[in-house]
A and B are shown apart, each in its own frame.
Chain A
């Protein structure tokens, strides 16, 4: 993180500790979609993801005054969200949700050509489906490092493991995702052939 950004973050944390609503809004606007994307891909259930996200925000505002002055907001929020997800898994055992739930969630479309749109949608749908089949311990590192772009050390802190363990887990996660993606492509090709016959 650039020094200036870090200084801004420290200032933001100070304002959060003081109960500044505008500081909260800034953090909320920045992290809300990112946390929802993470939680939705982990839970595979929109209602559950929204509940967990709401609880994440309430934890921030209720414990705001206890934040350490040098708290890094991204890792802190993702750690809370992840811990809530783990509690949710323990209490409800809903891990085996349907991938299809995830596919119907995209509210808007970017402007692309029909070909690009069809190709990208097809690939992204397959990627989403493959990702949804990756075991949670691997899925979370793919999302934190790949999608969120967290540094290895931060992602390791969120997951409660060492950076070295995270690197190994990420490597395994890539292999699992790659295999799932290949399976999806294979089954897609088979369906296409059957349709064309």
Chain B
């Protein structure tokens, strides 16, 4: 890289940074905030749904286990000759 090239890149580095208009800046920030809030709400709904679905599965499994155990006990009683 030549000295001129260096100076050229320095000149590019010294270009003005353009600031957004305040109204636009606030509007976009607010839109992003509401998107983040919506995302969090969606996530919460999904989590609750998963919990609800899990608890339903748990209850179903418990009922199935109870039925199985009672059948097991009945068979055991029959084989043991109990009335």
Residues of A within 8 A of B (CB): 19, 21, 24-25, 28, 32-34, 36-37, 40, 50, 53-54, 57-58, 60-62, 64-65, 105-108, 123-124, 127-128, 131, 142-143, 145-147, 149, 171, 174, 177-178, 181
Contact = CB atoms under 8 A, between A and B. Distances in A.
The 5 tightest CB contacts between A and B, nearest first, are A146-B12, A146-B9, A61-B35, A37-B18, A61-B32
A53 B28 CA distance: 9
Interface of B, helix, strand, loop or mixed by DSSP: helix
Interface of B: 1, 4-5, 8-9, 11-21, 24-25, 28-29, 31-33, 35-37, 39-40, 43
Contacts of A33: 17-20
Interface of A, helix, strand, loop or mixed by DSSP: helix
Nearest to B25: A32
A49 to B, nearest CB: 9
A142 B12 contact: yes
A183 B32 CA distance: 44
